[in-house]
Amino acid sequence: MKQKVVTYLTQKLDKDVVLEKPKDRSFGHFATPIAFSLAKELRKSPMIIAEELASSFEEQEMFSEVEAVKGYLNFRLSEKFLNEYATWALENPSEFAKGEHSGKILLEFVSANPTGPLHIGHARGAVYGDTLLRLGRHLGYDITAEYYVNDAGNQIDLLGLSLQLEGRSSILGEDVEYPESYYRGEYLSELAKEAKELFGEEIFKDESRQKELALWAKDKVMEIIVRDLKDVGIEFDSFVSEASLYDKWDEVMQKLGDGLYEKDGKVFLASSKKGDDHDRVVVREDGRPTYLAGDIIYHNQKFERGYDRYINIWGADHHGYIARVKAAIEFLGYDASKLEVLLSQMVSLLKDGQPYKMSKRAGNVILLSDISKEIGSDALRYIFASKRSDIALEFDVEELKRQDSSNPIYYIQYAHARIKTLLEKSQKSKEEILASDLIGIDSAANDLLFDALLLPEVVEDAFHSRGIQKLPEYLKNLAASLHKFYYDKRIIGDEHELKYLKVLEMVALSLKTGLGLMGIEAKEKMYKEEE
């Protein structure tokens, strides 16, 4: 809707137009400060320019009113325009809020080490990435969702050791002396049982088979990770193994050229030349590549695939890696501005106001699967999408289990279910409702309709600003407007019943579409419904 107005005004005025939404709806639906930007060129006061421009919009069907106010042009959309737009949306629900953008994007997210099940910190980045993916695809972008499997390095060796120790303890009954650092949790007990059946007990005693055990366990853990993600509606198009990339390391080192130098038996990336705090080691004294080397090979491989843009979602603790990876990209001969790194902050959980107790089977973390089972996938996805990803998040799981208006996801789903119940109670057919026009509806219905038709702008803004929290905030506000309208109006049996039901159909479509873009179900019925 907003884009239609911008396109029309840009063509009419032959100028780029910035459109704003007045905080006070009495000033109209949209406003533009274009008169101020034209003042110097036309050598007139913005107020005079605005008055002249306003008079040129007479008899324009898109607007019922164009008014000059203190140099601003304020526009009120006509009932005819709103009715036609709503009718089109209701007749083409799958096309509503879609965009016509183009471009190939590689979106990498989660990428947690395959050494244990996902915890809630991983879950936040997972929901952020998947919601961004859904928004972008809805807008027309060709986006590939990718998981980078960190299956090389010390963490995999430690997984093999941890599993051998678990097997010796829980399977063989030995009194095991654990090192200071090792993996723990019920998942290791389950893996140990499977390993015994597959390999026999000897694999827990033979240190030479630790790597074999680690690689098998890594694949089994990835199965757990993929399953847990699928349970909350998250799936990937591709998985890239870090271990599979290292045969390209010599080739990538050659490509880095003068971006590398040797000192004290190590090989450094001269990242300080590209804005990093200092140069970084990429090859240790013993010849082993560092963690950064793996990232460099991976990003070289990414850019070789020729996407228009690359988006990484990393945990906030990876902030320091951004400058060094971008430096490497520049040395590799690529445009580092094509890489965008978004950070996902930590999560804290409460239960009835107290810190959430960690699960014995998780070891020392709170598992994604535990929280998903406790509050449900919809509530989990909503809460993780509801705040900016780069600020810490704290929430109480008990609040998200309540079946009342204090629970935001219940509040939104209840709004959708309430509309569906009203439509069922009405004797009006779908065809009658769609055929009705919205000319002459009261201001409350008109405002509700306008709010429902704003979803396309919210989707655009949420994706392009990378602020997915704008979508749940919009849905919560739309649900609040719906509930107020429902309590303030007699709908069934009113002389404007058809008009009201058409407005409500539009609200339901926006709620359903918006929730769908968050990977959340729009409920048709809710057991506490009280009509």
* 82-95 residue pLDDT tens: 999 999 999 999 99
- What pLDDT sits at residue 485? 96
Q: Look up residue 143 and give its DSSP letter.
A: E
Q: Name the nearest CA neighbour of 377 among 369, 389, 388, 365.
A: 369
Residue 432 to residue 452: CA distance in whole angstroms: 20
- What pLDDT sits at residue 363? 59
Residue 387 to residue 384: CA distance in whole angstroms: 7
Q: Are 438 and 449 in contact (CB under 8 A)?
A: yes
Q: What is the pLDDT of residues 463-492, one digit of tens each?
A: 999 999 999 999 999 999 999 999 999 999
In the predicted structure, residue 250 carries a pLDDT above the cut 80 = yes
Q: Look up residue 105 and give its DSSP letter.
A: E
In the predicted structure, residue 529 carries a pLDDT above the cut 50 = no
In the predicted structure, residue 505 carries a pLDDT above the cut 60 = yes
Exposed, middle or buried by CB within 10 Å (0-12, 13-18, 19+), for 448?
Answer: buried
Q: Look up residue 235 and give its DSSP letter.
A: -
Please identify which residue in the block is written with the tokens 């209701």: 90
Element (H, E) at 332: none
- What pLDDT sits at residue 527? 64
- What pLDDT sits at residue 466? 98
Q: What is the value of pTM for the model shown?
A: 0.92
The residue ranking higher by pLDDT, 8 or 213, is: 213
Q: Are 172 and 166 in contact (CB under 8 A)?
A: no
- What pLDDT sits at residue 54? 85
Q: Residues with Cβ < 8 Å from 227, sequence gap 6 or more?
A: none
- What pLDDT sits at residue 355? 84
- What pLDDT sits at residue 130? 98
- What pLDDT sits at residue 361? 46
How many residues in the chain?
A: 531
What is the percent of the chain where pLDDT is above 70?
Answer: 97
Highest mean pLDDT among 22-26, 354-358, 360-364 belongs to 22-26
Task: State which CATH number among 1.10.10.10, 1.10.730.10, 3.40.1260.10, 1.10.3720.10 fits the domain covering 408-517.
Answer: 1.10.730.10
Exposed, middle or buried by CB within 10 Å (0-12, 13-18, 19+), for 315?
Answer: middle
In the predicted structure, residue 152 carries a pLDDT above the cut 80 = yes
Taking residues 365-381, what's their average pLDDT?
92
* DSSP-derived secondary structure for 408-472: HHHHHHHHHHHHHHHHHHS---HHHHHHS--TT--HHHHHHHHHHTTHHHHHHHHHHTT-TTHHH
The residue ranking higher by pLDDT, 140 or 351, is: 140
Residue 453 to residue 343: CA distance in whole angstroms: 31
Taking residues 185-212, what's their average pLDDT?
94
Task: Give the pairing type, strands 72-77 and 30-32.
Answer: antiparallel
Question: For 318-399, where are the E strands, in sequence order?
Answer: 339-344, 347-351, 354-355, 393-396
**For all residues of the chain together, what is the average pLDDT?**
92
Taking residues 107-120, what's their average pLDDT?
94
The residue ranking higher by pLDDT, 375 or 530, is: 375
Q: What is the pLDDT of residues 358-369, one digit of tens each?
A: 654 445 678 899
| Topology (CATH) of 2-76 | Gyrase A; domain 2 (3.30.1360)
Output the CA torsion sign for 184, 187, 193, 197.
negative
Q: Are 262 and 324 in contact (CB under 8 A)?
A: no
All structural domains of the chain with their residue ranges = 2-76, 154-210, 408-517
